Structure 1
């Protein structure tokens, strides 16, 4: 799957879960479990509860996605 096919949403991190996962409340009241993308891990970008983030979601499974940007 290419990057063009992913759905991009914005939301706010509500809580940090174990294993690098986090719960994100999107603007359309959808709750998604997300993990940091590899580029964010590589550059050691920290995401904490309350941060606004951009998340990329596969159209096939909308329950989890990758955090690609922190505002």
Structure 2
């Protein structure tokens, strides 16, 4: 993976979703940033919903807009049963 000198990479949580793949992300340093989904994530159709933890790339010249470059996997509890019990059919 190449290094980019003119970008800052931060982490945060998606707070709201807008049309056309735009999101508002609340960063760990208490900033609110308007972001878009990166091209590779859009190509792979990675679904992002409010509440997801993401990695955001911000350009140094405008820290109010950015690009979502990674969505962290959702941790699932083993106690959760997503299939109905056989008695419920």
Place the TM-score, normalised by the shorter chain, in its bin: over 0.9
Runs of 4 or more above 4 Å deviation = none
The two structures have a TM-score, normalised by structure 1, of 0.93
Cross-structure match for 2:37: 36
- 1:9 is paired with a residue of what secondary structure? strand
The two structures have a TM-score, normalised by structure 2, of 0.75
- 1:3 is paired with a residue of what secondary structure? coil
Structure 2 alignment gaps of length 5 or more = 73-89
More relative contact order in 1 or in 2 (CA 8 Å, sep 6+)? 1
Deviation at 1:38, TM superposition (A): 0.2
Number of equivalenced pairs: 70
Structure 1 alignment gaps of length 5 or more = none
